[in-house]
Chains A and B, each alone.
Chain A
């Protein structure tokens, strides 16, 4: 069974129809790249998956379980959304690290508050939980190669380092599907490389990921599946070879020529 099933998702902002029925499936461990020009609805799709926008129609299932269904109000309550969004993680284009916390604190903050809510005897086990989370965070920092920056503040890091910390922060909550919204658009080519390397490492470790990207090279080499969006629909989808070597849609052909 597919890990993620998205069925005819629609979304409008006022009179503008941004998503006109998006459907796709994803298996566990797959990397899906979403490409397309600005305004094609890629980012909105990602934001709907992460509940930053509420889709007007359609449904989203994780492991066969509906996590979003525009027709089912019980899934739209703030409580249900807060629970269901834990399936997804999101890495932003502009990192959005918390400036007043150091790297380690950025990683543990949300996990700590979740533990506080979920653990009945939190005050008794506080020390133990803190240690556990710190160790997890340190492990993640090691994986992204930033162990020595654990006490630094975001403003002291380069853009690439900040984005890697943002990735680790999202991973702290062990999401089933990690989403990236143009993770390298704010970075220069050198820093882009280091961020893409981290994403490739995550793929090797078996993470399921959706990457909205303008990096065609990355989409071609690192993804299992590519979706090309145009004007709010999936214009074409398939393996990277299919899309990049023999594109069928004229829109995709002209997009790739640019």
Chain B
């Protein structure tokens, strides 16, 4: 019982880092994804092409690899390791966390951008035309008619992606971020107890359930009226 409590305490601490990574990724990746979506829909072709190429590359390579590149490339290629960057004031854990966060944000912004783009492009042309002939301005059209339909379109794919993010945070351990899975493997290494590894599953599962529930409520609320 005593070990259970101490293990739970250690895992909860790791889970705090997991949650920080999760929420900060969402906080930055959603607006950045919106920006990426707008750029990939721009009429200016070169920029649109670059944006789509970038999204293609990020989506086409493993997040694990991107984490390695972000965290270790500055040290290997430019002799300027992340841990020595002045902004971190010698806080090694913070430097790893920020590196991992950066990779997560870029990676998820690209996935979100594609979801947002799909959500916007799926709005029937007739909705815009109806607004136009009713004399509505472009901003009125977007905010009063289009936006809610876009949100409605993206709730389901976003739910999917966000649940994936819950579990993807475990990858951060590969760049020395002490999140819950890392904490469990430390217990295994130092105390030779293996069950905490499986115990982490309960944390992930509980949190995924919460996220799924929230999205489900949002979806239900939005689809109360239509289709």
Contact = CB atoms under 8 A, between A and B. Distances in A.
Contacts of A114: 135
B202 interface: no
Interface stretch (B11-19, B85-93, B121-129, B161-169): B121-129
Given A94-B126, A100-B149, 4 more contacts: A51-B133, A52-B132, A154-B226, A173-B134
Interface stretch (A27-35, A83-91, A136-144, A219-227): A83-91
A113 B136 contact: yes
A98 B127 CA distance: 7
Nearest to A116: B140
Given A82-B135, A92-B130, A113 B140 contact: yes
Shortest beta-carbon contacts, A-B, top 4: A110-B134, A99-B226, A96-B130, A96-B126
Interface in A70-127: 82, 85-86, 88-90, 92, 94, 96-100, 102, 109-110, 113-114
A13 to B, nearest CB: 15
Nearest to B133: A90
Contacts of A96: 124, 126-127, 129-130
B53 interface: no
Contact of A100 (B124, B135, B148): B148
B137 interface: yes
Contacts of A110: 131, 134-136
Interface of B: 124, 126-127, 129-137, 140, 144-145, 148-149, 152, 225-227
A82 B149 contact: no
Given A94-B126, A99-B227, A100-B225, A88 B133 contact: yes
Interface of A: 50-52, 82, 85-86, 88-90, 92, 94, 96-100, 102, 109-110, 113-114, 153-155, 169-170, 173
A109 B133 contact: no
Nearest to B140: A113
B135 A155 contact: no
B219 to A, nearest CB: 14
Contacts of A155: 225-227
16 contacts: A85-B133, A92-B126, A96-B126, A97-B130, A98-B145, A100-B145, A100-B152, A109-B134, A109-B145, A110-B134, A113-B137, A113-B140, A155-B225, A155-B226, A169-B134, A170-B134
Residue from A96, A102, A109, A114 having most chain B Cβ neighbours under 10 A: A96
